Amino acid sequence: MQGYSDVKGEVYHYRSNVPGHRKLAAGDYFVYYRPGEYVIFGAGTIGEIERKKINPEQETRMLTDYYAHVDSYVDFDPALQVREIKDRISFLKDRDGLRGVPQNSIYEISREDYAEILRAAGEHTFL
């Protein structure tokens, strides 16, 4: 099995074994998060999501590749440091450090948190 075929701002590639993979749908708004650096580096909307079976002959461990095509996208320049907005984001507010920041998964956030992230990044495109 190969790595992922992401193209920032164009296609987000994930698999059916990624936590939260069923939560992403066409029309959803999203933010890109880089866990190792604790930064949010862009936001946009999801368009069509393609599905491709991986190893369909192996029914016991059949995975699906998903390719979420991005309809619109804005790059945050500079990237938004999560530490700077931690106290304004509901799922991080009462935690020590940055524990609770989802990594390597698709994680649903509230509309309020999404709006706060965009405001902090100085973007009003998707508000």
Along the chain (127 residues), what's the average pLDDT of each consecutive run of 10 residues?
A: 84 92 94 88 96 70 90 94 90 72 78 93 77
Tell me if 19 sits within 8 A of 53, measured CB to CB. no
pLDDT of residue 34: 86
pLDDT of residue 57: 62
Rounded CA gap, 15 and 21, in Å? 7
Torsions phi, psi for 59 (to 5 deg): -65, -25
Whole-model pTM over 0.85 = no
Tell me if 89 sits within 8 A of 117, measured CB to CB. yes
Element (H, E) at 113: helix 111-121
pLDDT of residue 28: 95
Classify residue 27: in a domain, yes or no.
yes
pLDDT of residue 102: 64
DSSP state, 18? Answer: S
Rounded CA gap, 59 and 67, in Å? 21
In terms of residue numbers, what domain contains 99?
A: 11-121
Task: Give the total number of structural domains in the chain.
Answer: 1
Classify residue 78: in a domain, yes or no.
yes
pLDDT of residue 40: 92
Classify residue 6: in a domain, yes or no.
no
Classify residue 126: in a domain, yes or no.
no
